[in-house]
Amino acid sequence: MGPAGKRDPIGRAGAQAVGDLHAEVAARFPREALPGRVFRFLGQPVAVYSNEPAILRTIGLVYGAFETERRGEPGAIDMFVIKEDDDDGPAYRVVDPGFNSFVCRRPDDAVGFWAAQLTGNHLFKSGFLFLHGAAFRVEGRVLIFAGASRSGKTTLALKLLQRKWRCLSDELVPIDLRSGLVHPFPRALLLREDTLRRAGAWPPCKAPLHAFEDRQDMAPGEAEPPRRFIVPWRSAAGARVAEAGPVGWVVFLESAGGPCTVLAGLPAALALERLFAGTLNPGYLPPPQKAAAVDALTAMLARAPALAAQLGPLDDDPALLADSILRTLADARVRGRDALEQTRRRCHVWLRAPAE
């Protein structure tokens, strides 16, 4: 989400940019008079205030593992989601000080835009590099499954959670650019209906689950946002969040639903190109942090083997799948380390090139 600017019409995105409404909203709706929830994301306290209980409930279900009872912390970011009626019906104003505010017509869209403001305006600029993937602790190290939406990542994560694997994240994998460690990001699992059906009788998915329409996950050609079912983190992964750790392996999910699961080694230089292209926030990072991101990924891949995976049937037995992955990881080695430095230099040249 960009800095405060001109108005945009509501379209497929489901929201209208209206400039920074923070001063107006803060004057009319003092935070002391509003219900709110406080979270801590990677050390950053964030408070959200709303006069709509259903919105706070949905945000709490998705981000409950980050919630804290400490209010009024120095440096906290105060965000608002305010419901008011106008000539067109209910309007939900999503307000983040210093940035464009957005007006949505549906409460689910307001939740999605609040999350987009949080990540784009703050988390993506916080000194972490965010990969699109899932992460697990395996023998003291972190195994990253990097994959785009609909690559089978969430289905794979569900199967490994059923095997009691310790999960750091199902969707966003934050890598600290200073230490190279992967930190936990315990957002709730957001399951599409087909993924929920494949979960079968897994206990966390048996109880009635809260659902919302996730416009942020719409694929090209979809007329309506997909429904996503919220499996709270503590239900899916247990009360304990796996601690931060060094990267041990990176597995790129290339396809799912094949005849069998196959993992094969990938040259480190190719893995570097894929990882930097697949990060979620390079466009948000200032130039020094972009350069640091390339160096952090290079150092990571010099130590951590990279593999490409074609997943087998999505209804495969979780135990067989987990055992197959563990056997492959035990034999994995870094490939093509000699070409890694050349690729790193090429990435730096690309970063210095002027934008077209």
Read off the pLDDT of residues 175-215 as tens digits, 9 standing for 90 and up: 999 999 999 999 999 998 888 887 776 778 777 899 999 98
Domains of the chain: 15-125 (no CATH), 128-352 (3.90.228)
* Rounded distance between C-alpha atoms, residue 46 and residue 127, angstroms: 17
Backbone angles phi, psi at 314, to 5 degrees: -70, -15
Summary mean pLDDT of the chain: 88
Read off the pLDDT of residues 221-260 as tens digits, 9 standing for 90 and up: 888 888 999 999 888 876 566 789 999 999 999 888 888 8
User: For the whole model, what pTM was predicted?
Assistant: 0.90
Closest CA to 298 of 329, 328, 326, 269: 269
- Beta pairing partners, 99: 3
pLDDT higher for 124 or 285? 124
Which pLDDT score, from 0 to 100, does residue 187 have? 94
pLDDT higher for 109 or 313? 109
pLDDT higher for 258 or 28? 28
336 burial level (CB within 10 Å; 0-12, 13-18, 19+): middle
Q: Are 146 and 133 in contact (CB under 8 A)?
A: yes
- HSE, CB side, 13 Å, CA atoms: give it for residue 35: 11
139 burial level (CB within 10 Å; 0-12, 13-18, 19+): exposed
Read off the pLDDT of residues 254-286 as tens digits, 9 standing for 90 and up: 888 888 888 999 999 999 999 988 888 888 888
